[in-house]
A and B are shown apart, each in its own frame.
Chain A
Amino acid sequence: MSPHGVLGARKRVLNVSLLETYKTGNFYDELMLPTGEPRPHSRALAEHLGTMPPAEFAQRARLAETLMVQQGITFNVYGAEGGVERAFPFDLVPRVLTSAEWETIEKGLTQRLVALNLFLKDIYHEQNILKDGVVPRPLVMGAAHFRREFLGADPPGGVYVHIGGTDLIRDETGAFLVLEDNLRTPSGVSYMLENRAILARVMPQLFQDMGVRPIADYTSHLLHNLRALAPEYRSSDPVVVVLTPGVYNSAYFEHSYLAQQLGIPLVEGRDLIVEENIVSMKTTHGLKRVDVIYRRVDDDFLDPLTFRSDSALGVAGLVNAYRAGNVALANSIGTGVADDKVIYAYVPQIIKYYLQEDAILPNVETFVAFDDKQRDYILANLDKLVVKAANESGGYGMLMGPQSSLSEREIFAERILENPRNYIAQPLIQLSRAPAFVEPGQFEGRHVDLRPFALCDRDLKVTIVPGGLTRVALKKGSYVVNSSQGGGSKDTWVLGKSTMSMSMEPGRMQLELDGKTMTLEGGRDA
């Protein structure tokens, strides 16, 4: 857009703009071009942002925080007297994806989730992929979340992962890469839905002329899929429940939110009982049979008879009831082997093996310490690589090579040599950035990732609502987006297929269709 365009004109009038002082730096910026102009599809958004005085923006940010505190969308800050509660940091500048970008993501994640489901079915049954040597057998058998106890069991439709959340990042060229898969109990979808609801309340004008696709049907798809998992002889009106570890779990808000939105009971382990392989919940009118459990309790704690015997969160006998086909679990048991960070390195081969296709969304280049040659490379380049433990999450157990000290690198070298199976390394990717509002009143670039939420039904049909959770590393310069490490989130907009907007000024009309601009000028200059 020319400097004499709409944005330029408004800027001059107000003489103050959050975007004017914004610097994209040497990163791929989600909102702005390196020239300092907004990306064409985000022009309407940039215009609205550009006309908002910093003080007003700050006021709306506080309003959003108040709304979140009122609704109890908070987490506890431990160690503080009396348990201080904070709202999850929510940045009001939305992150925008074009319909073309979304199409690639949607196809890529669908392909990935189908392949990983086929992989899980295979390794818990025939193990052809191991026999063919595509994935080294010891890596699967030695994975912390491989469940021997579950070999040969048949989940409904042979599907293991019904709800997936894969983390994507964008590199400096703007290409999307898969950072990791979350196939056990991925969380964050409530924030995706609530961020949208809150942004629409505090900044309704931002949505004008943008054609943002709705995401509110996520819970309808989820409920439909869950109901379809019920044992066939129970399928007329199945009882579906959400199983939570309880109010002290950090994702409890999400569990109760989903139960409320789905209109189904939220149960804890102590509310359920298994008798003769039938799962029931304890109600004021006696026992009531349960058919499908959307469980947000990890495998380890699910059933003290099968897994950790000290678990008070689970239900004794649940695994046997599941094996007997009297109750369905989503996700199934043992899915953690497929989101293991070492198995991750083999996902492109896994896709090729089952689907005979190349991965649509590439992995980040990954070195596996299990392999002798790759381990040597890792150890020789610790100062350039990001090292990750196979089964840690939340940003823990990581070495950020370029920002590390010599002693930190020595500790990790020792750990890698001690247990090579447990480590991978990746080059540091210059994650894309997006503007985030920083007190007292300016935009600064912060690194972001993207977690879309994919649903897979019992026939392997994948549904992904157009959106996801954009996590943002709010600490200046940080690459770690996890909420436990000072991360926040943004609303994520996927634009509709055809976007059209129009702006008019004296003597000049401008039409924009799918990102292409057409300007009609009259005799006078604007």
Chain B
Amino acid sequence: MLSREADACFWIGRYVERAEATARMLDVHYHAALEGVPGMLEWESVLAIADCSAAFHARHRQISDRNIISFFVFDTDNPGSILSSLTYARENARSIRDMVASEIWECLNQAYLDLKEWDIDRALAGTPHALFTKIKNDAHLFHGITYRTQLLNETRDWLRVGTFLERADQTTRLLDVKYHDLLPATRAGKPEIGGLGVGGPADIHGWIAILRSVSAFEMYRKTHRDGIHPAGVVDFLILNPIFPASVRYSIGQAEEALRRVSGTSATSPATCEPERLIGRLRGELNYAQAEEIILAGLHEYLQSVQKRVSEIGGSITKTYLSYQ
């Protein structure tokens, strides 16, 4: 497979995942704010985590639902907006449309064309939830069509490497958002539980919202019968081996896809730098414990995982995607 094509597949995977994650994040915060769920973060924290506070304030004088949704969904000057992500995914798909099943291209093309039919007024006139749901469903359709039509070849492997690396990254960001939210409470000297300054009854709603945003609430209930608590949520979203949005699962899937590319197995020694880096991260996630992570500092841990995911991405690009 051409390096350029592998690169396009890798980024299609990442952009579709990014669009979906952004839609989920907006959905949960928009509705939590509407319902007045206590313990949920401010939009300002969302901007900080997405690292685009400055970009946002350069374009909008004040924070409002309208401005936030415009910025995160429709603003093409924001490279992380949903429209930007879908545009990039579609343009990448166009450049490799000969490599993938026609339906995959048509799905991404349609998702983009549909979103172009929306604007902020239409999104706010009905319920923004309809728009966010549509974005999520488009991403699901993309994964479903790929699963159903694409040969189990390198094209699919690179789509998966991109998808799961991005998912691991997004899940750590989601938890990090929660951490930001808690900072003021900690500063105010509220009672600390589990080393996080968390735990009042109001705060439970915040954790539930986080779980809901990755469709994890019901699944969490099935695995953690002792209720919603920080260590449980950290355990579920970072370390669960079989929950499809957990960091551990995502890294494991990305590793398997990478190993298929080189034709080796995850149990054999690494054949290249990306395999070494991702294998080590997967190994650590396999044996980590939630309490230990919280004690050492959740924020520091999440930052370190994000940094390593980014290193893995860089190493993949260097080894496979940009032929020197």
Contact = CB atoms under 8 A, between A and B. Distances in A.
A284 B1 contact: yes
A306 to B, nearest CB: 23
A498 interface: no
B98 A260 contact: yes
A267 interface: yes
A259 B98 contact: yes
Interface in A223-268: 246-247, 252, 256-257, 259-260, 265-268
A271 interface: yes
Contacts of A72: 94, 97, 105-106, 109
A71 interface: yes
A247 B95 contact: yes
Interface in B84-139: 91, 94-99, 102, 105-106, 109-110, 113, 116
A284 B320 contact: yes
Interface stretch (B2-10, B43-51, B198-206): B2-10
Given A256-B94, A266-B98, A283 B2 contact: yes
Interface in B1-59: 1-6
B261 interface: yes
A265 B154 CA distance: 14
A284 B98 contact: no
A424 interface: no
Contacts of A247: 91, 94-95
Given A69-B113, A71-B106, A268 B4 contact: yes
A284 B3 CA distance: 5
B323 interface: yes
Nearest to B109: A72
Contacts of A271: 2-4
A107 interface: no
A282 interface: yes
B102 A284 contact: no
A20 to B, nearest CB: 37
A493 B99 CA distance: 31
A252 B93 CA distance: 13
| Chain B interface bracket (under 10, 10 to 19, 20 to 34, 35 or more) | 20 to 34
Nearest to A285: B1
Contact of B2 (A69, A70, A257, A281): A281
A270 interface: yes
Given A72-B105, A247-B94, A256-B98, A284 B113 contact: no
Given A247-B95, A256-B94, A282 B106 contact: no
B2 A265 contact: yes
Contacts of A69: 113
Nearest to B101: A260
Contact of A71 (B1, B102, B321): B102
Q: Which of B6, B76, B95 has the most CB of A within 10 A?
A: B95
Contacts of A71: 102, 105-106, 109
B115 to A, nearest CB: 12
Nearest to B157: A284
Given A259-B98, A284-B320, A267 B105 contact: no
Contacts of B106: 70-72
B97 A260 contact: yes
Given A70-B109, A71-B106, A265-B2, A284 B97 contact: no
Among A71, A72, A266, A281: residue with most chain B CB under 10 A: A72
Contact of A282 (B76, B94, B97, B323): B323
A283 B261 CA distance: 12
Max chain A Cβ within 10 angstroms of own Cβ: one of B95, B96, B97, B116: B97
Interface in A56-83: 69-72, 82
Interface in A359-405: none
Contacts of B320: 284
A252 B323 CA distance: 23
Nearest to A84: B116
Contacts of B261: 284
Nearest to B116: A82
B6 A284 contact: yes
A283 B94 contact: no
A268 B95 CA distance: 10
A69 B114 CA distance: 11
A267 B98 contact: no
A70 B323 CA distance: 33
B219 to A, nearest CB: 35
Contacts of A82: 76, 116
B321 to A, nearest CB: 8
Contacts of A270: 4
A283 B109 contact: no
B98 to A, nearest CB: 4
A254 to B, nearest CB: 11
Interface string B146-188: 0000000010000000000000000000000000000000000
Contacts of B99: 266
A283 B1 contact: yes
B198 to A, nearest CB: 45
A282 B98 contact: no
A256 B97 contact: yes
A284 B154 contact: yes
B323 to A, nearest CB: 4
Interface string A262-299: 00011110110000000001111100000000000000
Interface string B308-324: 00000000000011010
A265 B91 CA distance: 18
Interface of B: 1-6, 76, 91, 94-99, 102, 105-106, 109-110, 113, 116, 154, 261, 320-321, 323
The 8 closest A-B pairs by CB, nearest first: A282-B323, A259-B98, A260-B98, A284-B320, A266-B98, A256-B98, A256-B97, A284-B6
20 contacts: A70-B110, A72-B97, A72-B106, A246-B95, A247-B91, A252-B94, A256-B97, A256-B98, A260-B102, A265-B98, A266-B96, A266-B99, A267-B2, A268-B4, A271-B2, A271-B3, A283-B1, A283-B3, A284-B3, A285-B1
Given A82-B76, A270-B4, A271-B3, 8 more contacts: A72-B94, A72-B109, A256-B94, A266-B98, A268-B4, A283-B2, A284-B2, A284-B320
